[in-house]
Amino acid sequence: MSIRPITDTLRHIGGGVFIDTASDKLAELVAAVDTTGKAGSIDLKIKVKKATRGGAMHITGTVKVTKPAEDPMEAMLFATPEGNLVADDPHQQKLDLKSVSGASDTPVTNLKTA
Domain chopping of the chain, boundaries: 6-66
Q: Is 79 helix (H, G, I), strand (E, B) or coil?
A: strand
Query: For the chain, what's the residue count?
Result: 114
| Per-residue pLDDT, 80 | 87
| pTM for this entry | 0.60
CB distance 42 to 63 below 8 Å:
yes
Written as tens digits, the pLDDT of the chain (114 aa) is 799 999 999 999 999 999 999 999 999 999 999 999 999 999 999 999 998 878 899 999 999 999 998 888 899 998 988 998 998 888 888 888 888 887 666 766 777 776
pLDDT at 72: 83
- pLDDT number for residue 90: 82
Neighbouring C-beta atoms of residue 111, cutoff 10 Å: 6
- Identify the pLDDT of residue 103: 66
Strand partners of residue 62:
45
